[in-house]
Amino acid sequence: MSALPATPTDALDGILQRHGHYPTELLQILIEAQDLEGWLPAPTLTHIAQALHIPRSRVEGVAGFYSFLYTQPVGRYRVLFSDNITDRMLGNAELMDALCRKLWIEPGKLSEDGLVSIATTSCTGLCDQGPGMLVNGRAIGQLTHRRINEIAEMIRQQRPLDLWPAEYFQISDNIRRKDSLLNLDMKPGAALSAVVEMGREGWLREVQTSNLRGRGGAGFATAVKWASARNASGEPKVIVCNADEGEPGTFKDRVLLNSYADLVFEGMTLAAWAVGASEGFLYLRGEYRYLLPQLEAVLARRREAGLLGRHILHEPCFDFDIRIHLGAGAYVCGEETALIESLEGKRGTPRIRPPFPVTKGYLGRPTVVNNVETLAKTCLIALGGGEAFAASGTAQSAGTKLLSISGDCAEPGIYEYPFGVPIARILEDCGASDTQAVQVGGAAGVCLAGYEFQRRIAYEDVPTAGAFMIFDGTRDLFDVARAFVHFFAHESCGFCTPCRVGTSLLQGFMDKLADGHGAKADLADIDWLDRLLKNASHCGLGSAAPNPVIDTLQKFRPAYERRLVSLDFEPAFDLDAALAEARQLTARDDPGAHLQTHEEEEK
Amino acid sequence: MSPAPVPARKLRVATTSLAGCFGCHMSFLDIDEHLFELVELIEFDRSPLTDIKDVGPCDIGLIEGGVCNAENVHVLREFRRHCKTLIALGACAVNGGLPAQRNHLPLSECLREVYQFRPGLENGQIPNDPELPLPLDKVRPIHEVVRIDYFLPGCPPSGPAIWKFLTDLIAGRTPRLAGGLLHYD
Amino acid sequence: MTKQFLLDGQPVPFEDGQTILEAARKAGHYIPSLCWHQDFPPHGSCKLCIVKAAGRHVSACATPAKEGWEVESNTPEMNGERRGLLQMLFVEGNHFCPSCEKSGNCELQALGYEYEMLTPRFRHFFPERPVDASHPDMLLDFNRCIFCELCVRASRDVDGKSVFALTGRGIHKHLAVNAESGRLADTDFSKDDLAARICPVGVILPKGRGFAVPIGERTFDTETIRSKTLKEEES
């Protein structure tokens, strides 16, 4: 066996103890265990398996699933550059190169002294203040060459993160436009008092009247979801707040959790009152781990104030508490059944539906999974009534929507609009000019071209979970689509054949075009793959994965066509490069030791 | 199988073996007495059967074997340029086959093992004569190098499968290998 | 009156709770599958059983039948998608049938025949997946894994051993065994486990036996997977 450093077993046992040795806590245990040494050596996994009385293979399965869990050593300084298209547009690649050069290290590799490793990661939700990075899980935005120089120096000096300049870790809310939700100045407990007054039935009726629909993008009626869980058998019922905000370009939940956490937790408690739930989870994406201490503080304050725990507001039958469950870098866990699997301490693989979570969710119990924004909105309904809420927005889309605006505009940030706002108006407000396209709803969303800017943000027109990425005339929409295809290939859980293989094949075709090997035949293959992914995938990730390609192929086809080097066929790989190793081994460089990559050149 | 309707003129057919074992060619000969029918319908261009060295304009090209070296690439491209219809004949042409099982080994390891470290070799060195084609880093199925029109799998495809395939093709039908003729082994 | 739905225009009776796949096979209609097994709950990962029910693509193995549904299965469109899924499975692994002991008894291969897959069509991934020959009785050749998780389920739910699990994610997903060393020999796996004989492809193979039945005389050399599956359903 390798000479691994002995695991500090006492600390590990402390972690296991704190989590009650529950296998459902496996992911949380792994996250904390990793803090001990920065990674998870094989003996650590064995020890955890033994302590939890579960097979080691299951522990290894979970440890291998999440991007932020490492079963191979990583640097004591683990630098992850956020790699959303907006980060790319702000020059993250150049900055990463610079940092790698300064630290004498290759991306994805560990430095020989084990000091540092540098890699990319999916969108970290700092698109309004990018390029962003995570250093040992802590977010830094607004990267510049100057900051990179300083970071390289501090890493070389092995300065602890706590001694890095505090302003590095300051994440701004960047709220640019407030409407009903962001203007709400609610005393914690006010909404709860109102609904307890109404009674559970009355409160549910009020939510129904409000026409509130899920803000996660799908737009399911919140009251219907709550009522289904309420009527389902099985106890105790569960409320989950989905704060796994992984959709590239979305960061509204970051802001809500940072500055409006009371509204979110109060909304969860309002849901618990309606549903009769006693257990609550906030599923916080690993990228937002830096928010954990302040969120725990809010929860503690609410417990003290009698807004969580037993007999909330002195109601004899109102017990509800909330725990925060950390994710560890897996976009697919935003899908509610994958999220529930993850909550149970498993790999985040989406379940077969039906049954739906409202009848069989967390540990088989009725479970409501709501978006952060949806839950916050319920405070508005509790305080102002369902009718008032329904009166704003459009007929089918009541209320307001938070948009996370980034990309080519003067003032990126959070904008709250009543539903029905036209794209053009938003572009004007955020100071966008010469806009070529807008990607609404993130990588899984829709790419709108100029002729569509009169369309409106609403479930019945352009639905969105909140991402709004702007691309001006200097951008190449092929690059945008390719970035999203890479994202989906990286985030596919690998459960079903079409998504596991299809996203990789699609990535291969996009790279083939990007590398100058594109042929007309590839476009037909891309079309075919798009359809199969859309039709045959197990969950929304796979069926949404081809969206950016479908949209841009339709609306920006020349961006693809100008990359073609053949109207017929081209190999996907560089034939001459495929001989390089043999050339080196034989020390040959004669003409016969080369191949023309394009056939025509050969004649 | 009814004999194919006779086309207006004989179809010109070329065949070759790249990184293959000539097993598919042997299997071709296994169509036995159908060979007599076949020569009424086709004439051979470049092929191990004719010893013609350069491929000329052809109707059909049959390629056995995958692509493992630079010469394979040249021959395959020649065939693609001259054949209206190009067919991958057999497992190695279809997915690289046996030769492709070196793909998980670095090329250097393969060559050193064969030319330098094998027992009995003294002062062995990797041949570097410019006459010799250089090997590619990986063995590729032929459809990854040129456009291929039809695929006939099997190791080798059986005589009856080859006969069915060719008669379909000559008669103008899209070849199909139903009823037990389709095998990958 | 029993409930029924239409499968490619043919009425198929079903009982409440039955899936499309179960009801169809019982009625003598073949819907293909790789990850489905009658002794286990539906898994739904291979997607070979994909059908169009009331206009929507669903996994027949995981979707309860519904009265009056019109289901399309044996159509050029659905069979084309199945062929595409098979091609994906072939290019992501290293499937060299001529040198595989499972050839002729392999369900992936048999489905290739059934859906007339003549070429894997796409770029081959040629992944690196070392074999594990550590166990005295059994060999693991990961090159052929299709991630149906039948061995995972059999070992966990029937053998009570959890010898196998999947780890990694996406295209890097792979089978792992229940040992810190990562070697099968260091698990309690036995050749008598259900998991030892449930693999539909050639990953989990007994040692010391090879080519006992010659190629050409094996299961799917003499019978299609369609007729074999339906015959088993009858008995």
The per-residue pLDDT of chain A, averaged, comes to 96
Chain C contact for B109 (CB, 8 A cutoff)? no
pLDDT at A5 over 70: no
Which chain A residues are within 8 Å of C173, Cβ to Cβ? 493-494, 500
Beta bridge partner(s), residue C176: C165
Put simply, the chain B residues between 12 and 31 with a CB less than 8 A from any chain C CB are none
Residues of C in contact with B177 (CB under 8 A): 116, 118
Residue A137 C-alpha, separation from nearest chain B C-alpha, in angstroms: 36
Which amino acid makes up residue A303? R
Classify domain B11-102+138-171 at the CATH topology level. Rossmann fold (3.40.50)
pLDDT band at A3 (very low <50, low <70, confident <90, very high): very low
| A519: nearest Cα among B72, B88, B143, C81 | B143
The reported pLDDT for the residue numbered C75 is 98
Pair (C148, C38) in one structural domain: no
Flag whether residue A495 sits within 8 Å of chain C, measured between CB atoms.
yes
Buried-exposed string C64-91: b where 16+ CB fall within 10 A, e elsewhere: ebeeebebbbbeeebeebbbbbbbbbbb
Give the position of tokens 């073996």.
B17
Instruction: Report yes or no: A415 and A456 within 8 Å, Cβ to Cβ.
Output: no
The DSSP secondary structure of C183-216, one letter per residue, reads -GGGS---TTSGGGS--SSSSEEESS---SSPTT
Last residue of a domain, one of C74, C96, C120: C74
- Other beta carbons less than 10 A from residue B172's beta carbon: 9
A541/C228 Cα distance (integer angstroms): 35
**What's the total number of domains in chain C?**
2
Boundary of a domain, candidates C25, C53, C74: C74
The pLDDT-based confidence of A543 (bands split at 50, 70, 90) is: very high
Chain C residue with CA closest to A45: the answer is C180
Q: At what angle do helices A372-384 and A190-210 cross, to 10 degrees?
A: 100
Phi and psi angles of residue B83, each rounded to the nearest 5 degrees, phi first: -105, 130
Say how many C-beta atoms besides its own lie within 10 A of residue A540's C-beta.
17
Chain B nearest C-alpha distance from A567 (Å): 12
Whether residue A2 is predicted with pLDDT greater than 50 in this model: the reply is no
SS (H, E, C) A92-159: HHHHHHHHHHHCCCCCCCECCCCCEEEEEECCCCCHHHCCCEEECCEEECCCCHHHHHHHHHHHHCCC
Are residues C95 and C136 located together in one domain of the fold? yes
CB contact (8 A) between residue C98 and residue B98: yes
* Average of per-residue pLDDT across C171-192: 98
| Chain C CB within 8 Å of residue B161 CB | no
In a domain, C221, yes or no: no
Domain residue limits at C18: 3-74
For the cut 50, the answer to whether the pLDDT of residue C29 exceeds it is yes
Same domain? For C147 and C70 the reply is no
Kindly list the domain boundaries of chain B, sorted by start residue.
11-102+138-171
Tens digit of each residue's pLDDT (9 = 90 or more) over A464-473: 999 999 999 9
Q: What is the mean pLDDT of residues A403-429?
A: 98
CATH of the domain at C92: 3.30.70.20
Rounded CA separation A335/A342 (Å): 10
Identify the CA nearest to A204 among candidates A184, A228, A186: A228
Strands A400-407, A413-418: pairing kind: antiparallel
pLDDT confidence of residue A603:
47
Question: Three-class SS of residue A545?
Answer: coil
Residues C48-90: tens digit of each pLDDT: 999 999 999 999 999 999 999 999 999 999 999 999 999 999 9
Phi, psi of C132 (to 5 degrees): -115, 105
Nearest-by-Cβ selection for C169 from A55, A64, A504: A64
Q: Taking residues A221-226, what's their average pLDDT?
A: 98
Q: Does residue C89 share a domain with residue C69?
A: no
C69 shares a domain with C94: no
Q: Would you state the pLDDT for residue B2?
A: 54
**Site of tokens 């296991």:** A16
Do C91 and C201 lie in one domain? The reply is yes
Q: Is residue C137, in this structure, part of any structural domain at all?
A: yes
The answer to whether position C127 is within a domain reads: yes
Using a CB-CB distance cutoff of 8 angstroms, which residues of chain C are in contact with residue B155? 97-98
Report the distance separating Cα A27 and Cα A16, nearest Å.
11
For residues C97 and C173, state if they share a domain: yes
CA angle B88, B92, B98 (to 5 degrees): 175
pLDDT digits (tens, 9 = 90+) for A299-343: 999 999 999 999 999 999 999 999 999 999 999 999 999 999 999
Integer-rounded Cα Rg, in Å, for chain A is 25
Q: What was the pLDDT predicted at A429?
A: 98
Q: Which pLDDT tens digit goes with each residue over A95-128? A: 999 999 999 999 999 999 999 999 999 999 999 9
pLDDT at C2: 87
Last residue of one domain, picked from the residues C44, C74, C104: C74
C174 and C139 together in one domain: yes
Same domain, C21 and C114: no
Which domains occur in chain A, in start order? 9-63 (no CATH), 77-172 (3.40.30.10), 177-391 (3.40.50.11540), 401-473 (3.10.20.600), 478-566 (1.20.1440.230)
User: What is the average per-residue pLDDT within C30-37?
Assistant: 98
pLDDT tens, N- to C-terminus, chain B (185 residues) = 555 555 678 999 999 999 999 999 999 999 999 999 999 999 999 999 898 989 999 999 999 999 999 999 999 999 999 999 999 999 999 999 999 999 999 999 999 999 988 888 778 889 999 999 999 999 999 999 999 999 999 999 999 999 999 999 999 999 999 878 999 99
Question: Tokens representing C169?
Answer: 């994610």
Q: Which of these, B53, B129, C147, C102, lies nearest to A538 by C-alpha position? A: C147
Same domain for C120 and C54: no
Q: Which residues pair with A462 in a beta bridge?
A: A457
DSSP strand pairing (A133-135 vs A435-440): unpaired
Unique residue bearing structure tokens 């009265």: C67
Interchain CB distance below 8 Å, C85 and A493: no
In this complex, how many residue pairs, one in chain A and one in chain B, have their CB atoms less than 8 Å apart?
61
Q: Is residue C145 part of a domain?
A: yes
Share of chain A above pLDDT 90, in %: 97
If one compares A216 and A202, the residue with the highest pLDDT of the two is A202
CATH of residue C19's domain is: 3.10.20.740
If phi > 0 it is left, if psi is from -120 to 50 it is alpha, else beta; for residue C180 that is: alpha
Q: Which residues contact B148 (CB under 8 A, 6 or more apart)?
A: B63, B86, B87, B88, B142, C119
Rg over CA atoms, chain B: 18
Q: Check whether residue C36 and residue C121 sit in a common domain.
A: no
E strand segments, C95-197: 138-140, 164-167, 174-177
Q: How many CB atoms lie within 10 A of CB A51?
A: 17
Q: Are residues C92 and C32 in the same domain?
A: no
Give the chain B residue nearest A602 (alpha carbons): B74
Shortest Cα distance from A320 to chain B (angstroms)? 56
Are the beta carbons of A120 and A107 closer than 8 angstroms? yes
